[in-house]
């Protein structure tokens, strides 16, 4: 035994001595550092140019449900419905995916100890394939949380953080490193096809919601990608539209939410958008991605493109867009060539690689986290239900139509009562195990649901679905099923049931904006159905309540007088029916408030004049002529009365605002302002306290007031009150002065306005600012290529 051991040792030493004789072996070993937190620069220095160019380009696109590309397609690219995908990287198919259905991966460089990261959509839940080839037992469903617009309507950042914690747990437990969310573009126009993925028309709400969810998700040790940076407010011509916006509207509206969330929550990554901004693709704008994002805001992570976004890989790397997704070998080749020819400074490339490696070091994959593939979906469904109920908005409740006592008999009308829409389509869709319909939700809550009507609907819907043409690609929505003709049933229903619930449903998503006909406006069939149901029930002295299962704003003014109650349930995630029943029954007192305005008519929307751009047949550019006058900033300033104002929402109780107290009449660094909110009704509830500010307009045209703070009260019992406080800082007083390239608080009189909605101010106080304050000087950036004639008051 001892003899054998000695022989082995001798042989090993001999082998090592021999290896050291091989030219380059010792040096190779030395020059191949293994990535760790202390040697990022050394690792980059050890990379070949080709390796660096691979590191900044994703592993390629794997079409969901499509076979690997043919040889020809690998060379020339693939045409999908008029959109030419660049040649795919063979690695996308050759290297097995860790998480099937994830949107993309980065390259691994094994010799340097760099693993491949997996990134996956999307904003309302982790979007991965629920079943895997060769695995007939296990499923990989994820929780569909409520869409972002609903979350924003909760005005509750701790609730949204909680959603983030549950959401991020699924990201981690399914083996994903970076979630491609949240999305926080501004609701510029109600027809924006992806508005449901976005929070609000207001940047403060958007930024704070995004920060809250980023914090929650990232608390799990996984990353996020806030998107789509920036001014991606429509889907029409999304890959080619030139968005022309003034520097001021950009700074005050479109960039602001991103600025707030970057500074507050440091997302691991930012996703640049598809559109051109003032003449250049956002992914190719160094002033956006380097000067502003990193220089001014202190962003520390890396920037990735949206999928196939932008054109010029070299310009993208130079701009500071570190990772090109999903990645094509053409891009790596172009980068290598550009460095060789001197067109791209290798320093730019090195910086991008370094930024990616810093995030790789943080990732669960690098840390060899042993994910379970078994997150607690039951617990997360509870979080989803709770969040959904807390973000629904009660728009109308005449004569206390709601809450509805348990045990009542209910006639449930409308296709989407039975085929409820949990969330929007495209990359914002989630593969969930189930969705609770309104019918099931009502049943679970103890209502007597009319079975005859229910049977007719379920049969009708199943039939219509069977006849649908096959979907061409994953983000093409099937045409909505026309409402079932209920004319012959209404009288009997009105006779036999206590109340009618009618759901109006809408869906939208990636790749297309919404339409006015039969979408923003109700269809003739829907209106006729509503009218005849309300006539029949009212004739019997019974009530009609509408549930809006929608992802974006619709017209309500022409039909709302026909009904007694309207509950805006948005697209509430997989527990939809249960969450709606929680509100209908009064188990949860509605405390959602609108984070986006409902106009009386589309004609009121200032952006509507040029949405989605010109020429109408195929828009190539869109000019944001409304400037800052988006949403309530427009309605309030120009005294236009919307159907339901920004901030609006009813409760089953009432609140009183009193005792406003401002710490000083003169602004001197900061001010505090307090107000008392009291529950004066008979059930417990929560109010959203909104703080708006009116600023002097001597030097600049300014909206009549802007939201500067919001607080959701605790659960106030009847008779209980809470003092809510806000701090006002100089930055809250400042507007962006383009000529001076600075944020300036103008001297003069400011008025603080506090209330439960933007048009219902209950308490106000004024203070004075003695002299102008320049709160921040910024760089000249993002200058429009042409003068914009902006709306002024
Ligand atoms: C969407 C992104 C998404 C990406 C990856 C793009 O089409 O615009 O929001 O993250 O695809 O699926």
435-493 pLDDT, tens digit per residue, is 999 999 999 999 999 999 999 999 999 999 999 887 766 677 888 999 999 999 999 99
- 307 within ligand 1 shell (Cβ under 6 A): yes
Q: Which residue owns the Cα nearest ligand 1 atom 9?
A: 427
- In degrees and rounded to multiples of 5, residue 54 shows phi and psi of -80, -40
Q: Which of 180, 181, 273 to mutate to test the pocket of ligand 1 (most atoms within 8 A of CB)?
A: 180
Q: Is 227 in the pocket of ligand 1 (CB under 6 A)?
A: yes
Would you call 679 helix, strand, or coil by DSSP?
A: strand
Q: What is the C-alpha to C-alpha distance for residues 121 and 99, in angstroms, rounded to an integer?
A: 12
Residue 716, beta-bridge partner list: 685
Ligand 1 atom with least separation from CA of 228 = 9
Q: Among residues 91, 177, 287, 306, which one is catalytic?
A: 306
Q: Whose CA is nearest to atom 6 of ligand 1?
A: 307
Q: How far apart are CA 408 and CA 402, in angstroms?
A: 12
Do 98 and 115 touch, CB atoms closer than 8 A?
A: no
Q: Write the pLDDT tens digit of every residue in 488-537.
A: 999 999 999 999 999 999 999 999 999 999 999 999 999 999 999 999 99
Backbone angles phi and psi of 346, in degrees to 5: -60, -20
pLDDT reported for residue 80:
67
Where would I find the beta strands (DSSP E) of 327-484? 393-397, 409-413, 448-449
Beta bridge partner(s), residue 126: none
Q: Closest Cα partner for 423 from 119, 63, 122?
A: 122
Q: 709: helix, coil or strand?
A: strand
**Residue position matching structure tokens 């900061």:** 670
User: Phi, psi (5° rounding) for residue 754?
Assistant: -120, 135
**In the structure encoding, which two tokens stand for residue 107, read together?**
């390259």
Where do the H-state alpha helices sit in 548-601?
576-585
Phi and psi angles of residue 271, each rounded to the nearest 5 degrees, phi first:
-105, 120
Residue nearest to atom 4 of ligand 1 (CA): 307
Which atom of ligand 1 sits closest to the CA of residue 119? 5
Structure tokens at 105: 């991966």
Q: How far is CA 433 from CA 128, 191, 388, 474, 582, in A?
A: 12, 30, 17, 18, 21
CA distances from 598 to 191, 393, 395 (A): 12, 12, 10
- Which of 355, 384, 430 lies closest to 121 in space, CA to CA? 430
Structure tokens that stand for 377 in this block: 């979906």
Of the CA atoms within 13 Å of residue 455, those in its CB half-sphere come to: 3
How far does the centroid of ligand 1 lie from the alpha carbon of residue 419, in Å?
A: 26
- Taking CA atoms only, the protein residue closest to ligand 1 atom 3 is 427
Question: Rounded to whole angstroms, how far apart are CA atoms 272 and 324?
Answer: 10
CA distances from residue 423 to 87, 474, 578 in whole angstroms, order as listed: 32, 14, 15
Residue count of the chain, please give it: 793
Ligand 1 atom with the smallest distance to the CA of 180 is 10
Q: How far is the CA of 506 from the centre of ligand 1 (A)?
A: 21
Please tell me the residue having the least CA distance from ligand 1 atom 2. Answer: 306
Question: From the CB of 103, is ligand 1 less than 6 Å away?
Answer: yes
Q: Which of 381, 426, 576, 419 is nearest to 123 (CA)?
A: 426
Residue 231 CA to ligand 1 center (angstroms) comes to: 15
Find out whether 513 and 426 touch, Cβ atoms under 8 Å: no
Residue position matching structure tokens 């006592």: 405
Does the CB atom of residue 180 touch ligand 1 within 6 A? yes
Q: How far apart are CA 396 and CA 682, in angstroms?
A: 19
Task: Classify residue 174 by burial, with Cβ atoms within 10 Å: 0-12, 13-18, 19+.
Answer: buried
What pTM value is reported for the model? 0.95
CB neighbour list of residue 786: distance below 8 Å, 6 or more residues apart: 244
The two structure tokens encoding residue 237? 């011509």
Span from the CA of 219 to the centroid of ligand 1 (angstroms):
23
Kindly state the tokens that stand for 303: 């920037």
Let me know if 306 is a catalytic residue: yes
Q: Cα-flanking dihedrals φ and ψ of residue 751, to 5°?
A: -120, 125
Residue to substitute in 194, 228, 234, 307 for testing ligand 1 pocket (most ligand atoms within 8 angstroms of CB):
307
Pocket flag, ligand 1, residue 258 (CB < 6 Å): no
CB 313 within 8 A of CB 57: yes
Answer yes or no: are the C-beta atoms of 499 and 544 closer than 8 Å: yes
Residue 597: Cβ within 10 Å count: 30
User: How would you classify residue 422: left for phi > 0, otherwise alpha for psi between -120 and 50, otherwise beta?
Assistant: alpha
Residue whose CA is at the smallest distance from ligand 1 atom 11? 307
In order of 60, 102, 376, 427, the CA distances from 131 in angstroms are 22, 13, 18, 18
Euclidean distance between CA atoms 280 and 312, whole angstroms? 11
Q: How many CA atoms lie within 13 A of 526 on its CB side?
A: 27
| For the CA of 427, the nearest atom of ligand 1 | 12
Q: List CB contacts of 287: < 8 A, sequence separation 6 or more.
A: 779, 781, 782
Q: Which two tokens stand for residue 250?
A: 């950009």
Ligand 1 neighbour 121 (Cβ under 6 A): yes
Q: Rounded to the nearest 10 degrees, what angle do helices 576-585 and 377-391 cross at? A: 50
- pLDDT for 81: 61
| 224 CA distance to ligand 1 middle (Å) | 13
Which atom belonging to ligand 1 lies closest to the Cα atom of 183?
9
CA of 146 to the centre of ligand 1 (A): 19
Give the pair of three-digit tokens for residue 752.
């603080």
Looking up tokens 């986006």 gives: 596
CA 98 – CA 140 distance, rounded (Å): 13
Ligand 1 mutation target, pool 510, 511, 513, most atoms within 8 A of CB:
510
pLDDT of residue 459: 97
- Nearest ligand 1 atom to alpha carbon 428: 9
pLDDT at position 518, please?
A: 97
Other Cβ atoms closer than 10 A to 780: 10
- Cα 426 to averaged position of ligand 1 atoms, centre (Å): 8
Taking the CA of residue 475 as reference, the ligand 1 atom at the shortest distance is: 7
CA 271 / ligand 1 centre spacing (Å): 9
Residue 256, number of CB atoms within 10 A of its CB: 18
State how far the Cα of 377 lies from the Cα of 432, in Å rounded to an integer.
10
Cβ-based neighbour number of residue 114 at 10 Å: 23
| Residue 225 CA, closest ligand 1 atom number | 10
Q: Tell me the backbone φ, ψ of residue 291, rounded to 5 degrees.
A: -65, -50
Residue of 351, 272, 267 whose CA lies nearest to 305: 272
pLDDT of residue 3: 45
Q: What is the spatial distance between Cα 413 and Cα 490, in angstroms, rounded to a whole number?
A: 10
Residue of 427, 428, 476, 513 best suited for mutating to test ligand 1, as the one with most atoms within 8 Å of CB: 427
On the 0-12 / 13-18 / 19+ scale of CB atoms within 10 A, 381 is buried
CA–CA distance, 319 with 280 (Å, rounded to integer): 11
By C-alpha distance, which of 125, 275, 160, 236 is closest to 508?
236
**Ligand 1 center from residue 326 Cα (angstroms):** 10
CA–centroid distance, residue 175 to ligand 1 (Å): 19
pLDDT at 11: 45
The CB of 427 under 6 Å from ligand 1? The reply is yes
Q: Is-cis flag, bond preceding 771, omega within 30?
A: no
Nearest protein Cα to ligand 1, atom 7: 307
Residues of the chain with pLDDT under 70: 1-30, 64-66, 80-83, 472-474
CA of 427 to the centre of ligand 1 (A): 6
H-helix or E-strand containing 658?
strand 655-662
Q: Confirm or reject: Cβ of 306 under 6 Å from ligand 1.
A: yes
């Amino acid at each position: 035994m001892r003899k054998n051991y000695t022989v082995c040792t001798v042989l090993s030493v001999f082998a090592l001595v021999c290896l050291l004789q091989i030219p380059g072996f010792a040096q190779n070993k030395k020059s191949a550092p293994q990535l760790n937190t202390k040697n990022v620069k050394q690792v980059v220095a050890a990379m070949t140019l080709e390796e660096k160019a691979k590191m900044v380009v994703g592993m390629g696109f794997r079409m969901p449900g499509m076979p690997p590309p043919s040889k020809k397609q690998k060379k020339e690219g693939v045409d999908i419905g008029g959109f030419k995908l660049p040649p795919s990287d063979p690695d996308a198919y050759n290297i097995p995916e860790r998480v099937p259905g994830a949107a993309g991966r980065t390259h691994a460089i094994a010799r340097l100890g760099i693993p491949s990261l997996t990134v996956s959509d999307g904003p309302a839940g982790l979007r991965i394939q629920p079943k895997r080839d060769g695995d007939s037992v296990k499923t990989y469903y994820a929780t569909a949380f409520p869409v972002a617009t609903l979350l924003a309507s909760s005005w509750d950042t701790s609730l949204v953080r909680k959603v983030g914690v549950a959401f991020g747990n699924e990201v981690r437990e399914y083996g994903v490193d970076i979630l491609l969310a949240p999305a926080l573009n501004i609701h510029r126009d109600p027809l924006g096809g992806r508005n449901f993925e976005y929070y609000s028309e207001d940047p403060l709400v958007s930024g704070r919601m995004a920060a809250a969810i980023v914090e929650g998700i990232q608390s799990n040790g996984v990353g996020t990608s806030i998107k789509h940076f920036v001014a991606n407010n429509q889907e029409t011509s999304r890959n080619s539209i030139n968005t022309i916006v003034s520097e001021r509207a950009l700074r005050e509206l479109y960039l602001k939410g991103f600025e707030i969330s970057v500074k507050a929550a440091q997302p691991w990554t930012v996703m640049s958008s598809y559109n051109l901004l003032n003449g250049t693709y956002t992914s190719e704008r160094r002033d956006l991605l380097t000067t502003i994002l990193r220089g001014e805001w202190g962003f520390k992570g890396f920037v990735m493109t949206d999928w196939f976004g932008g054109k010029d890989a070299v310009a993208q790397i130079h701009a500071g867009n570190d990772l090109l997704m999903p990645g094509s070998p053409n891009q790596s080749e172009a980068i290598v060539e550009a460095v060789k020819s001197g067109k791209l400074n290798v320093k730019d490339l090195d910086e991008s690689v370094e930024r990616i490696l810093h995030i790789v070091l943080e990732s669960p994959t690098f840390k060899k986290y042993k994910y379970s593939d078994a997150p607690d979906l039951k617990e997360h469904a509870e979080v989803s239900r709770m969040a959904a109920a807390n973000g629904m908005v009660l728009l109308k409740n005449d004569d206390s139509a709601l809450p509805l006592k348990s045990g009542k008999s209910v006639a449930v009308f409308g296709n989407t009562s039975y085929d409820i829409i949990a969330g929007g389509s495209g990359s914002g869709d989630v593969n969930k195990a189930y969705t609770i319909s309104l019918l099931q939700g009502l049943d679970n809550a103890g209502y007597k649901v009319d079975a005859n009507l229910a049977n007719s609907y379920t049969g009708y819907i199943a039939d219509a679905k069977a006849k649908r043409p096959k979907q061409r690609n994953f983000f093409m929505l099937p045409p909505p099923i026309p409402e079932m003709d209920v004319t012959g049933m209404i009288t009997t229903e009105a006779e036999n049931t206590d109340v009618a619930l009618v759901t109006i449903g809408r869906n939208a998503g990636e790749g297309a904006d919404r339409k006015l006909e039969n979408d923003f406006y109700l269809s003739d069939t829907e209106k006729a159905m509503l009218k005849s149901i309300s006539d029949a029930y009212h004739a019997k002295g019974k009530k009609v309540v509408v549930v809006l299962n929608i992802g974006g704003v619709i017209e309500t003014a022409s039909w709302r007088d026909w009904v007694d109650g309207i509950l805006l349930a948005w697209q509430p995630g997989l527990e939809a029916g249960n969450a709606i029943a929680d509100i209908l029954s009064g188990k949860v007192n509605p405390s959602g408030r609108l984070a986006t305005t409902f106009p009386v008519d589309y004609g009121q929307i200032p952006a509507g004049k040029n949405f989605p751009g010109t020429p109408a047949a195929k828009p190539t550019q869109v000019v944001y002529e409304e400037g800052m006058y988006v949403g309530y900033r427009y309605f309030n300033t120009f005294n236009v009365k919307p159907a339901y104002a920004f901030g609006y929402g009813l409760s089953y109780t009432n609140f009183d605002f009193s005792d406003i107290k401002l710490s000083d009449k003169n602004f001197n660094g900061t001010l505090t302002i307090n107000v008392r909110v009291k529950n004066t009704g008979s059930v417990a509830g929560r109010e959203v306290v909104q703080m708006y500010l009116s600023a002097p307009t001597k030097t600049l045209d300014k909206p009549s007031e802007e939201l500067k703070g919001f607080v959701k009260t605790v659960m106030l019992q009847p008779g209980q009150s809470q003092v809510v406080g806000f701090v006002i800082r100089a930055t809250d007083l400042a507007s962006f002065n383009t000529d001076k390239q600075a944020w300036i608080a103008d001297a003069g009189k400011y008025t603080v306005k506090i209330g439960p909605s933007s048009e219902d101010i209950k308490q106000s106080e004024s203070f004075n600012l003695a002299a102008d304050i320049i709160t921040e000087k910024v760089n000249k950036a993002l200058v429009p290529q042409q003068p914009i004639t902006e709306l002024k008051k």
